[in-house]
Structure formats: structure tokens, C-alpha cells
Amino acid sequence: MPWLQLIIHTDRRHADAIDDALLEVGAVSVTLQDDADQPILEPALGETPLWDATRITGLFDADIDTAAVSLELLAQLPEPPTDLKWEQLEDKDWEREWMASFKPICCGERLWICPSWQAPPQADAVNLMLDPGLAFGTGTHPTTFLCLQWLDQQALEQKHLVDFGCGSGILGIAALLLGARQVIGVDIDPQALLATRDNATRNGLPTDAMPVYLPADAPTPQADIVLANILAGPLVELAEVLSAQVVAGGKLCLSGILATQAETVMAAYPAFAFDPVAQKEEWVRLTATKVR
């Protein structure tokens, strides 16, 4: 099905009004993007921040009257934008486009993350076959890659783990394929729990190898390793909960943290001796051993 998109360059002050007006005049979706290379890497809890320079794109059916829509849109806005640009959007199978961009990823000496629709490049490696669905975690993001790289280096045989913020299940499933005995997955998103179950089954794991829970329903096990690839703010808020789940001498692996936030996160875990910080781009991974 062909589409038209209306592109508007604006600023933070006018973005919400334009967003609402586009929906009022018939846009089937509205996308807001950074228009000046100003990344927002970790918004505060409950915040939906916008960029100083914002590009807004409204998506419309191709058979609309663009002139009429433009006039109606401008009439709704107290400060109408001066730059409206209509473009035809190429009709694509967007699911296939995404699938084509997801390639196998080598995460160490043993471990590969492979799209479930492609054959693994090394049949004798530890190959995690992944379809993330709507959940976070493919191995392409620096935080996930750093955690997978660390897991590849660990002796996981018969270990019990917790994967807090399990997303697609990628970290917990990797640990199981690398020899762990059981992983408990926890996530606030029910879609993540579905994705984790599906990916565990896809990798031939028994149903009891990685039980998954919403936080309110999760047990509080004593684990050899606790993994949490979320964000710095929640890692600080959850420090007491996560620390209590690690056995004496057990390990902690934290990510989703910007390099500038590392000291703050480490300070929230006084019972742990931290290893040197591992960094990829602006993101870091923190690993530590429980010493008291």
C-alpha cells in the first residue's frame, strides 16, 4: 500500500501541538525524531523529553488531497510552521527490511547470536537463535553486547542466575547455552516474558530452565550471578533488591549505564568489589564480586 509523508521541522515548544494537529487532520501515525544530532540517552523516570530541534513526520494514505490537508493543518496551529514538505514513501515489506539488517553477531570465543531465520555461520559454536519480537535485546546494542561478551568468558556450569529486565531473554538464554543450570527471568513488560519463553523454546531449552515473572510475582532466589541490563536510575533504585539476591562470593553484571554514570551506580553497591569498567562507545558494563 503506498503512503505519503508530511515532514515538518520545528522545535521543542511547538512539537506537541503539531503532533496533535497531524492526528486531527488524518495522519495514521506521527513520528518525532532528533533533527540536530542531540541524543537523549536516558530520560528520567516518567519523562518523555523532546529535542530542541525536532523533525515530525505524519504518515497519510496516498489518496488524500495534500493541499487541503496542509491548509487544514495550518489553520489549527496558532504558530503555523513555514516549512511543509510532502514526500511519497516507498512501499516496502518493513518486517523483511528489518530482518535483512539483523545479522549474526560473534560475542566472544564461543558465543554467536543468530537470527532465527538464518543458518549459523559456525555450526559448532554456541549458537543462540533469536527472534526478539517486540522485546529489547538483539546483541547489537553496546550494553547487550558487553554483557554477552562477559558471559562468554565465565565458567557457568551448574550456576543459578537471575536476569532482571530479561527483554528478549537473550542474556539468560545465552547463559543456559553456555552451561548454566537455571535462569530466572524478570521483566515489567508482559511482551518480554512472551518473547523470552518463545526464544527459550526456539533454542531447545526445557520449560523449567528459564521461568519468567513480572516483578510483583518473582521469587527472591539466591543466585550465583545476577544480570541487570536496564538503566542507571533503576539500577540505583533496585540496588538493595539485586544485592540481596547474590550469594556471598557471587557475581553481579550491570549495564545500560553511560560512562558518566558508572561511579554513581557502583556507589549504590557497597557490598561488591568491582572489576575494571568495560566500555563500548558511551556505554559501560560493570561487573563485581560480592565480598560482604
Say if CB 213 and CB 184 are below 8 A apart: yes
Which pLDDT score, from 0 to 100, does residue 263 have? Answer: 97
Say if CB 152 and CB 111 are below 8 A apart: yes
Is the pLDDT assigned to residue 47 strictly greater than 70? no
Using CA atoms, how far apart are residues 190 and 135, in angstroms rounded to an integer?
9
**Would you call 236 helix, strand, or coil by DSSP?**
helix
More confident of the two residues 247 and 39: 247
Type of residue at 169: G
Tally of CA atoms within 13 A in the half-sphere of 164 that contains its CB: 28
Is the pLDDT assigned to residue 197 strictly greater than 90? yes
Mean pLDDT calculated for residue range 23-43: 77
Residue ranges of domains in the chain? 3-91, 96-290
Mean pLDDT calculated for residue range 6-35: 91
The confidence band for 83, taking pLDDT boundaries of 50, 70 and 90, is confident
Range name among 89-98, 121-130, 137-146, 261-270 with the lowest pLDDT average? 89-98
Mean pLDDT calculated for residue range 119-142: 81
How distant, in Å, are the alpha carbons of 154, 178, 199, 274 from that of 221? Answer: 20, 21, 23, 22
The answer to whether 144 is a known ligand-binding residue is yes
Q: Which CATH superfamily is domain 96-290 in?
A: Vaccinia Virus protein VP39 (3.40.50.150)
Burial of 236 (0-12, 13-18, 19+ CB in 10 A): middle
Is the pLDDT assigned to residue 142 strictly greater than 90? yes
Which pLDDT score, from 0 to 100, does residue 128 have? Answer: 94
The listed range with the strongest mean pLDDT (43-57, 106-120, 129-143) is 106-120
Is the pLDDT assigned to residue 41 strictly greater than 70? no
Range name among 56-65, 128-137, 246-255, 265-274 with the lowest pLDDT average? 128-137
The answer to whether 201 is a known ligand-binding residue is no
The confidence band for 94, taking pLDDT boundaries of 50, 70 and 90, is very low
Report which DSSP code applies to 36. Answer: S
Say if CB 76 and CB 21 are below 8 A apart: yes
Is the pLDDT assigned to residue 182 strictly greater than 80? yes
Identify each DSSP E strand in 138-268 by its residue range: 160-164, 182-186, 212-213, 223-229, 246-258
Type of residue at 75: A
Is the pLDDT assigned to residue 43 strictly greater than 60? no
User: Tens digits of per-residue pLDDT, 200-242?
Assistant: 999 999 989 999 999 999 999 999 999 999 999 999 999 999 9
Class of CATH domain 3-91: alpha beta
Average of per-residue pLDDT values in the chain = 89
More confident of the two residues 128 and 40: 128
Q: At what angle do helices 190-202 and 170-177 cross, to 10 degrees?
A: 30
The answer to whether 199 is a known ligand-binding residue is no
The answer to whether 127 is a known ligand-binding residue is no
Say if CB 131 and CB 202 are below 8 A apart: yes
The confidence band for 1, taking pLDDT boundaries of 50, 70 and 90, is low
